[in-house]
Amino acid sequence: MLIDGTNFYHAVKESGRNALSELEFTRIFQEVSKKTGLLEVRYYDAVKDRTKDAVGYAGQQKFHEKLRKTSGKLSIHSRPLRYAVNITLQKALDAGKQSGIIDECKNKLWQFLVNLKLIKLTKEKGIDVLMAVDAIEAAQTKKFDFIIFLTGDADFVPAVHLIKKIGVKTINLHAYRGSSTELRHACDSHALISFNENQPPINWY
């Protein structure tokens, strides 16, 4: 199973949830294992720069450590997160002063930048490519009966088509929000993750 970390994180947020707990991840892995005989889990993430975002980096590393404990089959695969813009509060205040913005409005200026998501403008580079290449290489080994894509990103459709040509079945595991219809249809089957603790963690189709 290959997990597109950022894509899944945003799908969970759009579903009105915070990040999943260790227990919830464990339930998902156990359910997939019962259905497919899960052999390996790879979690893909863009690693934050601790010199630019020390708090964010520490939190991400803590999350990765917790995630590793959910399954002995899980490994983290990463690329550096690229920063296009990194505006600090002091930079915003200085810019406000230079622009003649009065003191009473400086906090509003900062909140305006936060709301526009311009404080830390970042971009993943290479995560999707890394995940797609790994999926194709895994299929070529003939070691796996299934390649499971936990993502809602249609960019993986070409990789899915190639994997199916190799002769390995594909499953799209996804949340309700942010799920690509094209990707679901490209895969041999798909499964919906439920965030309701009173329901099975996965609905298979």
Q: Is 64 found in the same domain as 17?
A: yes
pLDDT digits (tens, 9 = 90+) for 165-184: 999 999 999 999 889 999 99
- The sign of the CA dihedral 123, 134, 17, 50 is negative
pLDDT digits (tens, 9 = 90+) for 111-145: 776 665 555 555 556 899 999 999 999 999 999 99
Cα 5 from Cα 140, distance rounded (Å): 24
Q: Which domain holds residue 144?
A: 2-81+124-204
Q: Is 74 found in the same domain as 11?
A: yes
Which one-letter amino acid corresponds to residue 84?
A
Cα 120 from Cα 52, distance rounded (Å): 9
Q: Is 144 found in the same domain as 61?
A: yes
Q: Is 17 found in the same domain as 96?
A: no
Q: Is 134 found in the same domain as 109?
A: no
pTM, two decimals, is: 0.80
**Lowest-pLDDT range, 32-36, 57-61, 124-128?**
124-128
Which one-letter amino acid corresponds to residue 33?
S
Tell me the average pLDDT of the chain: 87
Q: Is 37 found in the same domain as 136?
A: yes
CATH number for the domain including 169? 3.40.50.1010
